Amino acid sequence: MHLDFLAKGALIGLSIAAPVGPIGLLCIRRSLTDGSKAGFVTGLGAATADAFYGMIAGFGLTAVSNFLVDQRLWLGLLGGVFLCYLGVRTALSPPPEREAKTSAASDLRSAYLSTFALTLTNPMTILSFVAVFAGFGLVGSPSYVASGILVLGVFLGSAAWWLFLSGVAGGLRTRVQPSWMVAVNRLSGAMLCLFGAYALASPWLR
């Protein structure tokens, strides 16, 4: 039964992580500029936040879930501003040098924390987890152990997607000319700004 929960959690984590969005753009762009390790660490930040929201849904922490949903306006605005900041910084970044060294530990930590915080500022993710858990019949799991294994599966499924994506993008790094990265940076920055602008405008578009 526990393996069944692990497999279902992994499927949920993969399905939540796979759609292309701002985190995917950051993962691809950092894999191209700083290598697959930096891209994977970027994705791990999102996977950790996914596991956090999966824990809330899996353990039935209604009070925490309700609080996050109640604060979705301010969290969404914060996330929108952060996305716009990342977009501008990405668009203005110079192309990486071919012989650039491996990312420092501080850079990897920053990559991890930035995507962890960015994913947490989207509290509607918790509703996605609740809906998916309900669809799988997993709301109110029979034990804390089963819920914990389910959350572990969510993390592993999400992390597997980021490992795949960063590996593919990182493999293309040597084939992308440094001059092309100017266009990649500007396109990625513009799309991140669009995601941020949508997050900022969404409360008034409903």
DSSP string, 61-82: -HHHHHHHHHTHHHHHHHHHHH
Amino acid at 61: L
Place of tokens 């977009």: 87
Q: Give CA–CA dist 192/196, Å, rounded.
A: 6
Surface-to-core class of residue 32, CB atoms within 10 Å of its CB (0-12 exposed, 13-18 middle, 19+ buried): buried
pTM to 2 decimals?
A: 0.78
Q: How far is CA 187 from CA 27, 126, 150, 159, in A?
A: 14, 30, 37, 25
Q: What is the pLDDT along the chain (206 residues), one digit of tens a residue?
A: 567 878 888 988 888 888 768 888 889 988 988 889 999 999 999 999 988 888 887 776 666 666 766 777 787 788 888 889 888 988 887 765 544 445 567 788 988 999 998 888 876 677 777 677 666 665 555 567 777 888 899 899 999 999 999 999 888 887 777 677 778 788 888 988 988 888 788 777 65
Contact 107, 34 (CB under 8 A): yes
Tell me the domain boundaries of the chain.
Answer: 2-205
CA-CA-CA-CA torsion for 46, 129, 193, 101, nearest 10 degrees? 10
